[in-house]
Each structure stands twice: as C-alpha cells, then as structure tokens.
Amino acid sequence: MCGLAGFIAARPPADMKTVISAMADSVRHRGPDDEGAFADAEAGVALGFRRLAIVDLSAAGRQPMHSACGRYVLVFNGEVYNHRELRAVLEQEGCRPPWRGHSDTETLLAGFAEWGVVPTLERAVGMFAFALWDRIERRLTLGRDRFGEKPLYYGWVGQGAKRAFAFGSELKALRAYPGFANPVSRDALGLYLQYSVVPAPYSIYEGVFKLAPASLLTLRAEDLPDQRLQIEPYWNAAQTARQGLANPFRDENEALSLLEAALHEAVGLQSVADAPLGAFLSGGVDSSMIVALMQAQSARPVQTFTVGFDEAGFDESPHALAVARHLGSDHHELRLGAADARAVIPLLPRLYDEPFADSSQIPTYLICKAASRRVTVALSGDAGDEHFGGYNRYIWARRVFGLLGRTPPALRRRLASAICATPSWIWSALGSASGGVGGVARLEEKAHKLASRLQNVDSLDDFYRSLVKEWPDGRLLALGAGFLPTQLDDAGLTAGVTEPEHRMMLWDSLTYLPDDILTKVDRAAMGVSLETRAPFLDHRVVELAWRLPLHMKIRDGQGKWALRQLLYKYVPRELIERPKAGFSIPLGQWLRGPLRDWAEDLLEESRLDREGYLDAKPIREAWGRHLGGRRDCTGRLWSVLMFQAWLEANS
C-alpha cells in the first residue's frame, strides 16, 4: 500500500523533480518507508511515489520501477495477490525477465511489457491504482482495480500555458501542483449533500475526477494541447452480476462447497505478506468468517482487533471477544470513551481530503490506529453485505413498500407527521425495550428517515433511491448547484435484474461500496500507514456470489444465509446470531452535548451566508429541531458539518 502522484504537461515546471517530490510528499502517510521520483523533461512527464513496504522489503521493490526492457516506468499502489502464479506463467511461456526481486510490482510490470495492460489486468487478482508511462509511444496509462479499493484522482490543473494533467492517490497531491486553483464544484456539492459522499466520477473540485473502478485512462503526449483523454472499462461489474444471475446454482451443497473453496483461497492469498499481518474482528458474520479462515490456515494465533465503547448500546466488543476466544486468535481490544472519539473530529477534513460524512469514519480510524501499532496489514470483512444480502434494507424494503402501496397518500402523510412529532424520550424507551444495539440515536434517526420517505415514492426502486439519500433536496441546499447524473440515474444499469433485492445489492456494490465503505477504510487506514485487504472483493468470490439465488442470501427474514452456513462450521451459531448493527457512535447525543459549541460555530447563520455555498434556512431549522429533541437530524447535520470543516481546513 502506497501513495502515488504525477503530471504531464506541454510546458512542465523547470524544477520537475522538486514539484513531483512535493506532490508525493503530500501523501507521505500512505508510504513512510521509502520515496522515489522519475522525470522526463522532454516528454514533460513526472512520476512520484511513497512506499509502504509489504512485499519484498528490499531495494528491489523500490518505485518508480523501470521494466527490464527499458520501455516502461511504473508507480503502483496496492497488491496483486496472485503475482507468484503470474510469474510462473511468464516463465512457462518463455517470457521470464531477469528478476531483480520478488515484488508484485515487478511481476505486474513484466506482464504489461509481455502481454499488454488489459490482458495482464484480466489475469490479476488484486486491488490497485497505477500510472504507467510508455517511453516509446509517449503514452500515460492510469488504471484502477475492479471495485475501487484503491483511489486515483486526476484532472487539469494550473492556468494558461502552464496547465497540466495531474493525478494522485489523494487530492492533496493535485493541490500540491504549482498554480492549483480549481474552485469548489457546486454541482458536486449538491450530490454530496444528497449522498454524504462525493460520488464517482466527480470530486469536490471542478475539473478534477475520480477514475471509475475497473477503468483505464490513456493520454498521449501529443494529445495534451487538445486535452483529449480516453477512458475505457476493462471489466464490468453490472455485466458480471447479470451473467451470474442468469446462471444460478441449482444445488445448494455445490454452491456452498465452491464458495467455501473460493473464500479459502482468497483469504490464503491475502494473508501473504512480508510484514506483520492481522484482522479486524467485530464478532459479526463477515469479519468472523474472514478470521476463521485465516486461523484455519495459520500455524500461529492470528492477531485480531476490535474497538469497545463505554457508551451503553454501542459496544459490540463482548461479541468479538467471544468469537476470538473460540477461534483462538490473539485478540486486542481498544477501549474508548466519548473524549477519545471526539478527539478524531479535527483530523477528519485533512484525512478524507474532500467532504465525507459517514460518521463511522471515526471508529474506523480509531481501530486502524490501534491495529497499526502491532501490524502493517489487516484483513477486513468489507463487501460481505453488498454481495451476500446483509443490509437490513434488502430484508424489509419490499415489505414496507408493499404496505405503502396499499396506504392512501393522505394517511401516509399523517403517519409521517406522527413519527416526526414523537419526542426523543419515547424513542429512547422504545430503543431500550427492543434491546437493539445503538439505542435511541439509531432507532430515532432511522424512524425519522423512513418517515420522510413515506410520502413521495412510486416504486420500490424509487424507495431505495430515497433511502440512500440524506438531503433529498441537496441541489437546492447547495446554492447554484445544477444536475449531475450518477449511476443511480442510469435506468439501464440494472436491466434484466428482476428481483428488487438484487437490484439494491447491485446499486450498492457500484455506488455505496466504492464511494463510501472503501473510501472510508482506505483513508482511515492509510492515515496511519496501515494496509487493509478485503477477501470478499476477490472478483472470483463476487462472481460466485452473483450465482447464488436470492433464497441463499435472504432466508427466514435474515441475510447472508450462505455465509452463515459456512461460518457455523467454525463458530457456534449462538455466538453469531443477534440483530445486525453498524459500526456506530452516539453522534446525535454528542451534537446536543459536548459537540454543540463546535457545531454551532460551523452552522452559524451569518457564517453560512458569508461563505455563500449553502442555504442557511433549512440547515438552521434542522439544527433547531435536533437540539430541541423534536427530531433526530444527525445524518443531515453531519454532512453539513463535514463540508464546513473541510472548507475551513482548505480555505
């Protein structure tokens, strides 16, 4: 796991090495172990790198790396888990270069030189972002892994004749280019307020974008004056889903056997590292499955990590401890109070580099920080929900919408009003009576979110789209924002996917997973120089997951049926079976208490008016309702607060 940066310009800076070094240094936290730079003044191209040494810790793994033939220069962030297999194939085909070390970067570079970029990526199993410079054809190629685990930003920066095409692992790298002055994109801000993230391919800056997952961008030096970019996919997640659904398993035993074998191989491959390795463990299905398979293949206890919170109702650490004891892992628990979590908030604007408002970013950062003290690599259970039917909305959305469809609109509005008028103390009592994890804050917030969607949805797909939005009128809240299309606006994306639950899973895997979950984990982990790996995102596992019929994902009102059957071989059912809970903190309570002054300063009406990005009236109304306990507005307020904090840090 590393950080990369680069640029190509018709009139590059005279001090190219100084500029590229500054760009790479801006992402030093992603790679504190080594640095490197390449510059070709004639071509106007420069590549910079910061290394976190994971595979081949020697100098043979240094980057930028030049191919044995001398044609290519590569900077590569990520891991190719099956690179040993690819080396063997190269050798069998008589294409073996004179290996200098045993890094996956060298293997990938040899594949590019021998097979070409697309054929190599089609063979590769891994997560990555890279920049490849072809010295003969004077062509730059940027690439990103199939699911978007590793970030890559690109865009045009600078002014006039000094304008350049720049790219990097984080926006920091682009901002470090001389003359960067790209304004905030009000259109992207409108999307951010809707979804609490800036969805790909957009960024918070005009003219700067995220490279879409499973995509390649190419730019030739002679195309610089016309700013012509070519972006093409090399793999298609939606097509993979449709192909899997069209060829479902008929035999459950066969499906479970193949799935277990694929997960076993994925975990085995991702457990290979020349640096200390561990795993996150919450005690839920996904993380427990990964740790169980790791421990089954390890001669030593696997190091596992969890965070325990002092607040009642938000602490799942006892469940993680019970699973760890059963599996025999070397378990580490970090106990945190409210002050520990709140201390992270000032770090968030620079850590996430653009507005990002999934509040689980806070405990995610804390557990990454705790793990980084002992290991350099940690496996996670991310992506189990999206591909195996884990989110609660997959289970209850169809039932709820079915009831709504038979309810007159006037009655829906009255019901929504009654929910929103219910005082917080009642939700608190209901939350305590239900025994649900998260208590009042989560129950109240979910009820209010559902209530606001009860009135104006005409289809189950519309109902889903409403559920994943925080401010449905985000374009109105962001002053001057226009319409930008997202993948959720593409009606053809889920064409042929007949079951609404599978449509929701596909949408989540294409949007929520890369834009929120993977972004959250990448920035939190790399902020403390920790590499994270997600075995559920081995594309061969995902292909099998799409072949599972819906009843092998959701059964008897419960998700992840297939994973549970496999997990019960390793962990007793009673240690796993409990209501699903997110990785949450009592943020709503804190905004009414210890975070109130901080929030009030950022949400002050005259400040909002002076900055000129947001409509102050609805924000102040939401803040007043939240403080008065009339409604839980945590999600909406957090999205505004994270933009305001980001704006303050980057002004």
Please tell me whether residues 74 and 212 are part of one structural domain: yes
Better-scored residue on pLDDT, 428 or 651: 651
* pLDDT tens per residue, range 113-124: 999 999 999 999
Task: Categorize the per-residue pLDDT at 224 as very low, low, confident or very high, splitting at 50, 70 and 90.
Answer: confident
Share of the chain above pLDDT 90, in %: 75
State the residue for tokens 């561990």. Answer: 278
Task: Categorize the per-residue pLDDT at 433 as very low, low, confident or very high, splitting at 50, 70 and 90.
Answer: low
Kindly tell me if the per-residue pLDDT of 436 is higher than 80: no
CB-based contact 619:476 (threshold 8 Å): no
Residue 45 forms part of a structural domain:
yes
Cα(3)–Cα(152) distance, rounded to whole angstroms?
10
Pair of tokens at residue 132:
């490849």
Kindly tell me if the per-residue pLDDT of 410 is higher than 60: yes
Lowest-confidence region among 90-94, 440-444, 575-579, 610-614: 440-444
Judged by DSSP in three states, 99 sits in coil
Please tell me whether residues 261 and 176 are part of one structural domain: no
Task: Categorize the per-residue pLDDT at 438 as very low, low, confident or very high, splitting at 50, 70 and 90.
Answer: very low
> Using CB atoms within 10 A of its CB, is residue 485 exposed (0-12), middle (13-18) or buried (19+)?
exposed
What CATH number is given to the structural domain containing 510?
A: 3.40.50.620
Pair of tokens at residue 42:
């004639």
Name the strand (E) or helix (H) holding 7: strand 2-8
Cα(377)–Cα(368) distance, rounded to whole angstroms?
10
- The residues facing 141 across adjacent strands are 132, 218
Residue 597 forms part of a structural domain:
no
Q: List, edge to edge, every strand of the sheet that includes 215-220.
A: 65-66, 72-80, 126-134, 139-144, 215-220, 230-233
Domain count, the chain: 2
Residue 323 forms part of a structural domain:
yes
CB-based contact 504:397 (threshold 8 Å): yes
Task: Categorize the per-residue pLDDT at 437 as very low, low, confident or very high, splitting at 50, 70 and 90.
Answer: very low
* Active-site option among 2, 95, 420, 633: 2
Please tell me whether residues 243 and 133 are part of one structural domain: no
Task: Categorize the per-residue pLDDT at 555 as very low, low, confident or very high, splitting at 50, 70 and 90.
Answer: very high
Better-scored residue on pLDDT, 315 or 524: 524
Please tell me whether residues 220 and 299 are part of one structural domain: no
Name the strand (E) or helix (H) holding 233: strand 230-233
* pLDDT tens per residue, range 470-516: 998 878 899 999 999 999 999 899 999 999 999 999 999 999 999 99
pLDDT of residue 585: 78
pLDDT of residue 274: 84
| DSSP letter, residue 29 | G
Cα(440)–Cα(424) distance, rounded to whole angstroms?
8
Cα(239)–Cα(536) distance, rounded to whole angstroms?
18
Nearest to 82, CA basis, from 228, 264, 211, 272 = 272
Q: CA distances (Å), 294 to each of 185, 212, 273, 321, in order?
A: 44, 31, 13, 17
Please tell me whether residues 138 and 257 are part of one structural domain: no
- Tell me the average pLDDT across 171-187: 96
Please tell me whether residues 223 and 137 are part of one structural domain: yes
Kindly tell me if the per-residue pLDDT of 430 is higher than 90: no
**Size (the chain), residues:** 651
Q: CA distances (Å), 151 to each of 22, 144, 437, in order?
A: 19, 8, 32
| DSSP letter, residue 457 | -
Task: Categorize the per-residue pLDDT at 581 as very low, low, confident or very high, splitting at 50, 70 and 90.
Answer: low
Radius of gyration of the chain (CA): 24
Residue 620 forms part of a structural domain:
no
Please tell me whether residues 370 and 262 are part of one structural domain: yes
State the residue for tokens 């793990």. Answer: 371
State the residue for tokens 């009654």. Answer: 418
Judged by DSSP in three states, 628 sits in coil
Q: What's the angle, vertex CA 79, arms to CA 546 and CA 87, rounded to 5?
A: 95
Q: Mapped to the 3 state alphabet, what secondary structure does 296-355 carry?
A: HCCCCCCEEEEEEECCCCCCCHHHHHHHHHHHCCEEEEEEECHHHHHCCHHHHHHHHCCC
Please tell me whether residues 330 and 223 are part of one structural domain: no
pLDDT of residue 445: 60
- The residues facing 217 across adjacent strands are 142, 231
Residue 467 forms part of a structural domain:
no
- Tell me the average pLDDT across 317-336: 93
Amino acid at 27: V
Residue 488 forms part of a structural domain:
no
Of 203, 235, 267, which residue constitutes the final position of a domain? 235
Residues with Cβ < 8 Å from 553, sequence gap 6 or more? 388, 389, 394, 501, 559, 560, 561, 562
Tell me: is residue 75 an annotated ligand-binding position: no
Question: Range of 99's domain?
Answer: 2-235
Residue 639 forms part of a structural domain:
no
Residue 137 forms part of a structural domain:
yes
Name the pairing type of β-strands 164-168 and 153-157: antiparallel
Residues with Cβ < 8 Å from 320, sequence gap 6 or more? 281, 282, 283, 287, 304, 306, 331, 333
What CATH number is given to the structural domain containing 210?
A: 3.60.20.10
Cα(97)–Cα(621) distance, rounded to whole angstroms?
66
> Using CB atoms within 10 A of its CB, is residue 221 exposed (0-12), middle (13-18) or buried (19+)?
buried
Tell me: is residue 381 an annotated ligand-binding position: yes
pLDDT of residue 435: 47
| DSSP letter, residue 157 | E
Pair of tokens at residue 309:
């919170």
Please tell me whether residues 301 and 169 are part of one structural domain: no
Of 190, 213, 235, which residue constitutes the final position of a domain? 235
Task: Categorize the per-residue pLDDT at 440 as very low, low, confident or very high, splitting at 50, 70 and 90.
Answer: very low
Nearest to 114, CA basis, from 143, 177, 168, 71 = 71
Amino acid at 554: I
DSSP 492-541: TTTTT--SHHHHHHHHHHHTHIIIIIIHHHHHHHHTTT-EEE-GGG-HHH
Better-scored residue on pLDDT, 467 or 454: 467
The mean of the pLDDT values for the chain is: 91
DSSP 107-144: HHHHHHHHH-HHHHHHH--EEEEEEEEETTTTEEEEEE
Q: What's the angle, vertex CA 167, arms to CA 207 and CA 163, rounded to 5?
A: 55
Please tell me whether residues 201 and 290 are part of one structural domain: no
Tell me: is residue 307 an annotated ligand-binding position: yes
The pTM (predicted TM-score) of the whole model is: 0.93
* pLDDT tens per residue, range 97-146: 889 888 999 999 999 999 999 999 999 999 999 999 999 999 999 999 99
Beta strands in 24-183, from DSSP E residues, in sequence order = 34-40, 45-51, 65-66, 72-80, 126-134, 139-144, 153-157, 164-168
- Dihedral of CA atoms 520, 1, 329, 362 in degrees, nearest 10, equals -20
pLDDT of residue 439: 40
Please tell me whether residues 144 and 219 are part of one structural domain: yes
Kindly tell me if the per-residue pLDDT of 520 is higher than 50: yes
For residue 2, indicate whether it is catalytic: yes
* pLDDT tens per residue, range 18-60: 999 999 999 999 998 889 999 999 999 999 999 887 776 777 7
- Tell me the average pLDDT across 454-460: 72
Please tell me whether residues 57 and 121 are part of one structural domain: yes
Kindly tell me if the per-residue pLDDT of 402 is higher than 80: no
Of 217, 235, 253, which residue constitutes the final position of a domain? 235
